[in-house]
C-alpha cells in the first residue's frame, strides 16, 4: 500500500473524466461483443489506455483542466434535462408562454382567465388566457 502511494505521488489519479472514459470503454466492449464490430473493441482499448494515461499522468494541471471541462459539460446537460423536466411537470398547474419580443419563457399559473403578463426581462406586456 505504501509503495502504491509512493508510485502515485505527484500523479493525477482517478477522476470523474477517467471514470467516464472507462464506462464508455466498457459499453463499447459490450456493443462490439454483440455486434462483432471489432473496431469498437479497438476503440475501447484505446480509451482504456487513454484513461490509464490520465490516471498516471504527472501533468496534473492539464488533467484537472480536462476534468473541469468534462464536469461543466455534464452539469450543463443535467441543467437542460432539469429544465425540460420542470416544463413537463409544471404543465398541470402552470402554462408557459414565450415573450413576443425577447422570446423569454414565462411561467404563469393556470386557470386565472384572461391575464396581462409582463415579461420579467424586457417588461413587454401581453394578454393571454390561462
Sites of contact with Zn ion (CB under 5 A): 99, 101-102, 104, 119, 121-122, 124
77 vs 66: CA distance, rounded Å: 17
* CA neighbor of 105 nearest in space, from 89, 123, 126, 120: 120
Q: How far is the CB of 114 from Zn ion (least distance, A)?
A: 19
Q: How far is the CB of 130 from Zn ion (least distance, A)?
A: 18
- Kind and range of the H or E run holding 128: strand 125-129
Looking at the Cβ atoms of 75 and 104, the one nearer to Zn ion is 104
Tally of CA atoms within 13 A in the half-sphere of 65 that contains its CB: 5
The angle formed by the CA atoms of residues 53, 58 and 63, to the nearest 5 degrees, is: 65
Looking at the Cβ atoms of 11 and 94, the one nearer to Zn ion is 94
Q: How far is the CB of 109 from Zn ion (least distance, A)?
A: 19
> Could you identify the residue written with the cell 408557459?
96
Q: How far is the CB of 101 from Zn ion (least distance, A)?
A: 5
Looking at the Cβ atoms of 91 and 105, the one nearer to Zn ion is 105
Looking at the Cβ atoms of 11 and 107, the one nearer to Zn ion is 107
18 vs 37: CA distance, rounded Å: 24
Amino acid at each position: 500500500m505504501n509503495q502504491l502511494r509512493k508510485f502515485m505521488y505527484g500523479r493525477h489519479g482517478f477522476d470523474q473524466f477517467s471514470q467516464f472514459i472507462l464506462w464508455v470503454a466498457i459499453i463499447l466492449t459490450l456493443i462490439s461483443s454483440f455486434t462483432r464490430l471489432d473496431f469498437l473493441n479497438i476503440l475501447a482499448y484505446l480509451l482504456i489506455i487513454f484513461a490509464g494515461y490520465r490516471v498516471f499522468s504527472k501533468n496534473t494541471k492539464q488533467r484537472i483542466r480536462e476534468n473541469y471541462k468534462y464536469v461543466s459539460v455534464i452539469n450543463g446537460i443535467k441543467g437542460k434535462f432539469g429544465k425540460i423536466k420542470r416544463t413537463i411537470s409544471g404543465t398541470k398547474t402552470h402554462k408557459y408562454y414565450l415573450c413576443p419580443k425577447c422570446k423569454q419563457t414565462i411561467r404563469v399559473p393556470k386557470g386565472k382567465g384572461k391575464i396581462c403578463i409582463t415579461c420579467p426581462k424586457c417588461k413587454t406586456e401581453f394578454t393571454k388566457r390561462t
